[in-house]
């Protein structure tokens, strides 16, 4: 079991690292790198970092299970990263397939086609985190207890929602545009509802996932 778990953790972390490093080879990277916040403007990248940390700590636990605190850190990261990755994947792929102009950040004087991410990189960024975290949770982790779901899960969702809402507004203030077009097109009151709605859906999705866990 530990061998299978280690293989999942290492392969997922490697795929996510490949996806992030590959961003620097894309044409749009030059433009994003000049903006305030760089790639960390995007919830995708913040979620990717947390998911990568979860998989990496998971691999460490597989090899050194007796290290004090590693188990607690892995469980905490899992509770944080799983709902974020789930909401990122859900929103991204839905909008990419139905309304790509609302999710793809076009560069000045460039078409949407010019900023499309190659599928192999896109999968590593927007699908591998969600799928690997779900596989890890359902195959190798016990479900979270009542206390964690009543207090810790909603607290983490609230912190993430407030943090990203504040951060993306700060970046937009410097850049005069949001990293996601659907935010640029929305007035402040609608953006606040989007942040709150995404946070609630992410938290609710984790409640559902935990309830489905045997």
Predicted local distance difference test score (pLDDT) of residue 114: 65
pLDDT tens string 109-128: 566 766 788 999 999 999 99
72: left (phi over 0), alpha (psi -120 to 50) or beta: alpha
Predicted local distance difference test score (pLDDT) of residue 128: 98
pTM greater than 0.85:
yes
User: Both tokens of residue 87?
Assistant: 């909401």
Q: Give the list of residues 6+ apart from residue 135 with CB closer than 8 angstroms, or none.
A: 8
If you search the block for the tokens 């990261």, which residue do you land on?
A: 77
Predicted local distance difference test score (pLDDT) of residue 214: 85
Residue 202 — very low, low, confident or very high, per pLDDT cuts 50/70/90? very high
Predicted local distance difference test score (pLDDT) of residue 183: 95
The DSSP H or E segment spanning 132 is: helix 128-140
CA dist., res. 191 & res. 184, Å (int): 9
Average pLDDT, the chain: 93
CB count within 10 Å of CB 199 equals 23
Handedness of CA 22, 25, 27, 30 (dihedral sign): positive
If you search the block for the tokens 């916040």, which residue do you land on?
A: 37
- Check whether 80 has a pLDDT greater than 90: yes
Predicted local distance difference test score (pLDDT) of residue 107: 60
Predicted local distance difference test score (pLDDT) of residue 28: 85
If you search the block for the tokens 């490093």, which residue do you land on?
A: 21
């Amino acid at each position: 079991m530990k061998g299978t778990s280690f293989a999942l953790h290492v392969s997922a972390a490697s795929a996510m690292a490949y996806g992030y490093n590959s961003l620097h080879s894309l044409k749009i990277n030059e433009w994003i790198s000049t903006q305030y916040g760089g790639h960390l403007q995007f919830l995708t990248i913040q979620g990717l970092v947390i998911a990568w940390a979860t998989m990496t700590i998971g691999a460490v636990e597989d090899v050194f299970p007796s290290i004090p605190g590693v188990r607690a850190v892995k469980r905490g990261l899992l509770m944080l990263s799983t709902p974020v990755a789930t909401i990122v994947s859900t929103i991204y792929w839905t909008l990419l397939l139905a309304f790509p102009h609302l999710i793809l950040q076009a560069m000045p004087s460039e078409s949407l086609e010019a900023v499309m991410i190659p599928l192999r990189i896109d999968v590593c960024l927007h699908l591998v985190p969600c799928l690997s975290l779900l596989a890890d949770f359902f195959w190798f982790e016990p479900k979270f207890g009542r206390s964690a779901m009543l207090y810790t899960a909603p607290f983490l969702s609230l912190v993430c929602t407030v943090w990203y809402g504040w951060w993306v507004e700060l970046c937009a203030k410097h850049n005069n545009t949001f990293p996601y077009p659907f935010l640029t097109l929305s007035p402040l009151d609608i953006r606040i509802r989007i942040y709150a709605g995404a946070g609630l859906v992410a938290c609710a999705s984790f409640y559902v996932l935990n309830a489905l866990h045997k």
